[in-house]
Structure 1
């Protein structure tokens, strides 16, 4: 028997173990946040998948009520028609706490989480969020609304 087998290597200090666990947890948290951010950047990334040069068809113009709109959750976009024949698009992710907006009524885009409200005309804040909804690019081709 050698003296090494009688004296095992010392265990790492408690401070070292706590620091390692904290660093691993931070790496996991940052990876999760990064993945979520990347997902929101891919809105409309499948442009042309249906063979349309103008992008992905979201809806027909008749699907979007005047003074209202419609949320397209899978694409992360909300399309509004503030006045007859005028169509606007914005990110459906509320700038207040990141929830998805749900409804559009009387010219206002509503978020159910903390009751933030945004203008259906330009995405500007009505209350309590502090940043406007990001504009998205759409085109109207005939009676089709296309996400660019």
Structure 2
């Protein structure tokens, strides 16, 4: 038989279901919200992509580089992490064209998946966006994904 906690804290089996679910929701949602709220370097609350390109495995790593062009499949895309904690969805409609979108679904802010068969899909409620333009194809989202200006510079994708 397990020992009772001596700290006066309830065990997880004694916690109300609502407390556990609220804790989980905060853990999943708050990191992005806290990062946006705590970033005082930009007047927009941290929603502006970093020009440094980030140093994560999914980001560029070289100053100003978002991604090598070769890392973005033609007709597909990939999510890249930025040094400020934000992400961008880079899509490659054609060999020499790359577009970037804020990957937050315009319905409830859940990160969307990279395009598959020309469609960007939100995994939470099934909203669909055009893989080339970010335009809404199917709700519940009613607004397109927000485009971020990028350009191809040699063999890399950088902010425009």
TM-score normalized by the length of structure 1: 0.65
Q: Which residue of 1 aligns with 2:66?
A: 58
Equivalences for 1:123-142 in 2 at 5 Å? 123-128=134-139, 129-142=141-154
Aligned twin of 2:79: 71
Report the secondary structure of 1:94's partner residue.
coil
Could you say which structure has the larger radius of gyration?
1
Q: In the alignment, is the contact (CA less than 8 A) between 1:118 and 1:125 conserved in 2? A: yes
Q: For residue 80 of structure 1, what is the aligned residue in structure 2? A: 91
Q: Report the Cα offset of residue 143 of structure 1.
A: 0.5
CA positional deviation for 1:108: 1.2
Consecutive unaligned residues of structure 2, counting only runs of 5 or more, are 1-32, 39-43, 54-60
SS of residue in 2 equivalent to 1:105: coil
| 1:103 Cα offset (Å) | 2.7
- Write the distance in 2 (CA, Å) between the matches of 1:135 and 1:117: 15
Q: Check 1:88–1:51 CA distance in 2 against 1; reply closer, same or farther (3 A cut).
A: closer
**Structure 1 residue 60: Cα displacement:** 1.0
Cα deviation for residue 65 of structure 1 reads 0.8
Structure with more relative contact order (C-alpha pairs < 8 Å, separation 6 or more): 1
Rounded Cα–Cα distance in structure 2 between residues aligned with 1:138 and 1:114:
28
Per the alignment, residue 16 of structure 2 pairs with none
Aligned Cα root-mean-square deviation (Å):
2.8
Q: Which has the higher helix share?
A: 1
Structure 2 contact 52–62 (Cα < 8 Å) conserved: no
CA–CA distance in structure 1, aligned partners of residues 74 and 62 of structure 2? 29
Matches within 5 A, 1:75-114: 75-114=86-125
3-state SS, counterpart of residue 103 of structure 1: coil
Structure 1 residue 139, shift from structure 2 partner: 1.6
In structure 1, runs of 5+ residues without a counterpart are: 1-30
Match among 38, 49, 65 for residue 43 of structure 1: 49
Please report the TM-score for the alignment, with normalisation by the length of structure 2.
Answer: 0.61
Structure 1 residue 120 displacement after superposition: 1.5
